[in-house]
Structure 1
Amino acid sequence: MTRLILAMAAMLSLEFTPMSVEAGEVVIAAASDLNYAFKELIQSFEQKSGHRVKLSLGSSGNFFSQIQNGAPYDLYFSADIRYPQKLIDSGHAAAGSLYAYAIGRIVLWVPARSTAPVEQKRLEALLDPSIKKIAVANPKHAPYGRAAVAALETAGLYGRVKDRLVFGENISQAAQFVESGAADAGIIALSLALAPSMKAAGRYWEIPADLHPPLEQGAVQLTGAKNAPVATDFLDFLKGPDGRAIMQRYGFVVPDK
């Protein structure tokens, strides 16, 4: 009799206790300046939500083209907010889902061994004879590359250094070029310069924001999203205090709540 009572009690508790939300997966395409920030953010999100995140990193422009051709992503995080806006206009992204999640910054970064006087001469340090190759992201499809070129043009230096520019496919590859020694200096994302490995390997000078157009970054949910509820949960986490704190640690200017 006791066993019967316990069994009935267990059945009643299952009937009236809310079931936990089933774990799902969200597939994200993200600009490579988010590399370190998003890996930390995703780890925290997965631990707290039980959901899984599949992350692909690359240049914003390349992802834009892939999505137009049917690439199966749920969320797209671009380093240029104009790309996700265009996806809304073309019907590839959900109307009303555009979120300006951050403003990025660029820095002039040199390895610790460099003798270039970055702190004293700032961008003009790129004229130092020790700097023979300068890594930047490809401005054809990488917003950070366009910002780097714009800063050099505004400073009156582009014509003097353009023959020494080497282009990474995205901003992460440009950072790899200079960190590995394939380039002597690089104009890279502040978010990458603040990563532990880059902080230990070199030094940087933050390029003033008025030297280039603002790197306003935007996210959007794609119309082909297979798991829209999980995508919404991820965006909500990014907008919340934990997500905002992580982004700010990597140098991003985040919007007010």
Structure 2
Amino acid sequence: MKKGLIRTMLSAVLGLACAFAFAGEVQVAVAANFTAPVQAIAADFEKDTGNKVVASYGATGQFYAQIKNGAPFEVFLAADDTTPAKLETEGMTVPGSRFTYATGALALWSAKDGYVDANGDVLKKNGFTHLAIANPKAAPYGLAATQALDKLGLTQAVSSKIVEGQNISQAQQFVATGNAELGFVALSQIYRNGKITSGSAWIVPASLHEPIKQDAVILQKGKDNPVAKQFTDYLKGPKAAAVIKSFGYQL
């Protein structure tokens, strides 16, 4: 009985070892706003499958240029739906692999408690020195910020106060370090499980900017890597959905 139990345990351990011995990985380009969610999802994915996500983070526009220049990415999680669609029309993606994995929200944020009011009137009062946004030419959340300012009729009034980050992570850093009193960031950067995690914020109404639909796609470099499809399928599953929602995204 004891020998049989040992054999069973040994078989289980060997089976697990074999599974991980053949574990694969996938190279994923991730829009900066999705950094924290994908880190949590990747950890679950590795735990559940034994396969690893090797992620790089940055601005969607910059990733587009890198992909066009032969970067080794196999999956692209963009901060918009137009860039993956463009890559699709250019034959750079696996046909039929594109889907919307999240819809983002924009927030006006300050690291200081009570600095940003519930209606975002701090913008109209214009008593700040610096307003951080991501580069609108490369980062969809930066573009959404400029659209919101335009809708509010504040573009001209605040133009001299804007400081641009290369991506949304850098824009958030400007605010977090106090180099800008406030800035437009992705809600996911400052939100977890129904709460703003630090400072004060106004969630910008979706009516003030175009929808921030974020699409994922398998790139041509990932067409022969089964882990690429396994990861995008996992991204559509319930465990990933729960993580995505916890950061304030809609599905």
- CA shift at 1:131, angstroms? 1.2
Cα separation, partners in 2 of 1:226 and 1:172, compared to 1, 3 Å: same
Pick from 151, 156, 159 the counterpart of residue 159 of structure 1. 156
Is the CA contact 1:179–1:201 (under 8 Å) kept in the aligned structure 2?
A: no
The equivalences for 1:1-257 within 5 A come to: 20=19, 22-113=22-113, 116-119=115-118, 122-128=119-125, 130-194=127-191, 199-225=196-222, 228-254=225-251
- Partners of 1:180 and 1:199 in 2: how far apart? 17
Rg larger in 1 or in 2?
A: 1
- CA shift at 1:112, angstroms? 2.3
DSSP 3-state at the match of 1:126: helix
Equivalenced residue count is 239
Is the CA contact 1:116–1:130 (under 8 Å) kept in the aligned structure 2?
A: no
Is the CA contact 2:19–2:50 (under 8 Å) kept in the aligned structure 1?
A: no
- Partners of 1:130 and 1:110 in 2: how far apart? 13
- CA shift at 1:124, angstroms? 3.0
Is the CA contact 2:116–2:200 (under 8 Å) kept in the aligned structure 1?
A: no
Unaligned runs of 5+ in 2: none
Cα separation, partners in 2 of 1:200 and 1:77, compared to 1, 3 Å: closer
Scaled by the length of structure 1, what TM-score is found? 0.86
* AA in 2 matched with 1:109: W
* AA in 2 matched with 1:223: Q
- Partners of 2:166 and 2:59 in 1: how far apart? 7
- Partners of 2:197 and 2:212 in 1: how far apart? 26
DSSP 3-state at the match of 2:221: coil
Is the CA contact 1:28–1:74 (under 8 Å) kept in the aligned structure 2?
A: yes
Unaligned runs of 5+ in 1: 1-5
- CA shift at 1:116, angstroms? 3.5
- CA shift at 1:80, angstroms? 1.1
Cα separation, partners in 2 of 1:195 and 1:134, compared to 1, 3 Å: farther
DSSP 3-state at the match of 1:161: helix
Deviation by residue 1:141-162 (Cα, 9 ceiling, x = unmatched): 1100000000010011111111
- CA shift at 1:230, angstroms? 0.4
Q: Please list every run of at least 4 consecutive aligned residues from structure 1 whose deviation after the TM superposition is greater than 3 angstroms.
A: 127-130, 198-201
DSSP 3-state at the match of 1:103: strand
Cα separation, partners in 2 of 1:132 and 1:147, compared to 1, 3 Å: same
- Partners of 1:34 and 1:229 in 2: how far apart? 23
- Partners of 2:244 and 2:76 in 1: how far apart? 17
DSSP 3-state at the match of 2:70: coil
- Partners of 1:124 and 1:153 in 2: how far apart? 15
RMSD: 2.5
DSSP 3-state at the match of 1:237: helix
